Amino acid sequence: MSLAGTLDVRPGEDANVILRRATVLDPVAGIEGVHDVVIRDGRIAELAAPGEGAAEGAEVVEAEGMHAFPAFFDPHVHLRTPGHEHKEDVETGTRAAAAGGYCGILAMANTEPPVSTAADVSALREQARAGASVPVGFLATVTRGMEGEELTEMVELREAGAVGFSDDGLPIVSARVMLRALQYQRLCGGTIALHEEDPELSGAGVMHEGPVSAALGLAGVPSVAESTMIARDAALAAYEGARIHVQHLSAAESVEVVRAAKAAGVRISAEASPHHLCLTDEEVRSLDPRRFKTNPPLRRETDRQALIEALRDGTVECVATDHAPHQAEEKEVPFEQAAMGVTGLETAFAALHTELVLPGTIGLGLLVERMAGGAAPFGIERPSLAPGSEANVALCDLAAEWTVGEDGYESRSQNSWCAGRALTGRVMVTVAAGQVAFRLRSFSLGVAT
């Protein structure tokens, strides 16, 4: 199934575009080379020899020196609707996604009220069909109202189109409830995405527990608050033969648990966020909650290195931004009181390209593969540049330098962890589900005559 057939998006015009002389890279499809990418009626019609793609009536993008990748897929986004539209909504959140090169996102269910009924899912899907720039899938909560006690009507929610289930924002504290949820998941499908945190261990912590928290006198969240819960849920998933996805992996201990579970055949997948891959708890010394207060918290350099290794060996199969918009008044307060979370959709690729690819830590191909890796864990077809595929393309200028926030944001919130950073690499054009979803303002497409 194509993204347009699986998720919800505002209907638009099928793209007829040629990316002239683009450097095409799709490691999963085994494509690497300079081609004219011919997009006809919203599909990849052919990868023609450079300069030879037939252009009648198509918009032509002179893409020499630029890279065409399969567009990215983010399985972890907070669109804040219903209830907190002053932070984000379907329209602004999907515009931010398009600007970041994404052709699809999954929205979390910890809204106000949480997405717990079939009617809630249907209403959101309707909003996406009215105003989403890129396809969106909606998760529903595992427990009613995210109260952690009674399960939602999971079968009914699936029938209404919920892509999966998550109480993200909160862990599922009760092992009994978790086991029941896994039993239902086996009946109705839909991956369960887990925010792993043992609240007895995380307590009132506001940052990673270690030397930096001790020096700052701030309450810490130990790594084992995450890893012990992952171990519990991996064991439960193994027992039930169910399918789980671990969200925002942050600690080396957690990487070990996921790696061992995979080796033992557990149906488990995992994501890591750009901020956990690029930053450590040293940043918290600035006491700037707007950019550096997240849950799970930024951890040690050894944790960051473990996450990078997990990205390399596939223990972590995808990058997920955990895009979490907040308004200034929730962030411009003392560190302990500030809201948790940072935005990331508009900067994920550029940040990881700048921080990990340019220094040679990981290869460009690996980054491209992991940026689109968030679809498969939810049973969604992976974006591909293979001819015949629905067109989902991110055209990037890897040499473009820009300062984050200088031209504002597409997101309604400004709590980007990259705010003020100089990044190298920029998304110029995004084609999502066969439609041109974004083009950088200063970058024009020409119409061939």
Catalytically annotated residues: 322
Site membership for Zn ion, residue 168 (CB under 5 A): yes
- CA distance to 114, 296, 391, per residue, from 83 (Å): 9, 23, 33
- CA 18/CA 46 separation, integer angstroms: 10
Show contacts with Zn ion in window 89-148 (CB under 5 A): none
Show contacts with Zn ion in window 298-327 (CB under 5 A): 322
- CA 165/CA 384 separation, integer angstroms: 26
Q: How far is the CB of 365 from Zn ion (least distance, A)?
A: 28
DSSP assignment of 246-312: E-S---HHHHHHHHHHHHTT-EEEEEE-HHHHH--GGGGGG--HHHH--SSPP--HHHHHHHHHHHH
Q: How far is the CB of 127 from Zn ion (least distance, A)?
A: 20
Nearer to Zn ion, 101 or 296 (CB): 296
Q: How far is the CB of 295 from Zn ion (least distance, A)?
A: 6
CB 67 within 8 A of CB 395: yes
Nearer to Zn ion, 168 or 317 (CB): 168
Show contacts with Zn ion in window 180-219 (CB under 5 A): 195
DSSP assignment of 213-263: HHHHT--EE-THHHHHHHHHHHHHHHHHT-EEEE-S---HHHHHHHHHHHH
User: Which part of the chain contacts Zn ion (CB under 5 A), choosing from 8-16, 160-168, 230-238, 357-365?
Assistant: 160-168
Instruction: Please state the length of the chain.
Output: 449
Nearer to Zn ion, 257 or 357 (CB): 257
Q: How far is the CB of 18 from Zn ion (least distance, A)?
A: 38
Task: Tell me how many residues contact Zn ion (CB under 5 A).
Answer: 3
3-state class (DSSP) for residue 364: helix
Nearer to Zn ion, 128 or 246 (CB): 246
3-state class (DSSP) for residue 46: strand
Q: How far is the CB of 245 from Zn ion (least distance, A)?
A: 12
CB atoms within 10 A of CB 57: 10
Nearer to Zn ion, 89 or 397 (CB): 89
Q: How far is the CB of 248 from Zn ion (least distance, A)?
A: 6
CB 146 within 8 A of CB 110: yes
CB 371 within 8 A of CB 62: no
Query: Which has the closest alpha carbon to 225: 211, 247, 245, 205?
Result: 205
What angle in degrees, to the nearest 10, is found between the helix axes of 175-188 and 224-240? Answer: 50
Nearer to Zn ion, 23 or 413 (CB): 413
Q: How far is the CB of 78 from Zn ion (least distance, A)?
A: 6
User: Which part of the chain contacts Zn ion (CB under 5 A), choosing from 119-127, 166-174, 372-380, 398-406?
Assistant: 166-174
Site membership for Zn ion, residue 410 (CB under 5 A): no
Nearer to Zn ion, 389 or 416 (CB): 416
Q: Is 388 left (phi over 0), alpha (psi -120 to 50) or beta?
A: left
Nearest residue to Zn ion, scored by beta-carbon proximity: 195
Please compute, for residue 375, the number of CA atoms within 13 A of its CA located in the half-sphere on the CB side: 23
Q: How far is the CB of 194 from Zn ion (least distance, A)?
A: 9
User: Which part of the chain contacts Zn ion (CB under 5 A), choosing from 94-102, 125-133, 158-166, 167-175?
Assistant: 167-175
**Burial of 331 (C-beta count, 10 Å sphere; 0-12/13-18/19+):** buried
Nearer to Zn ion, 59 or 168 (CB): 168
Q: What does DSSP assign to residue 79?
A: -
Contact footprint for Zn ion (CB under 5 A): 168, 195, 322
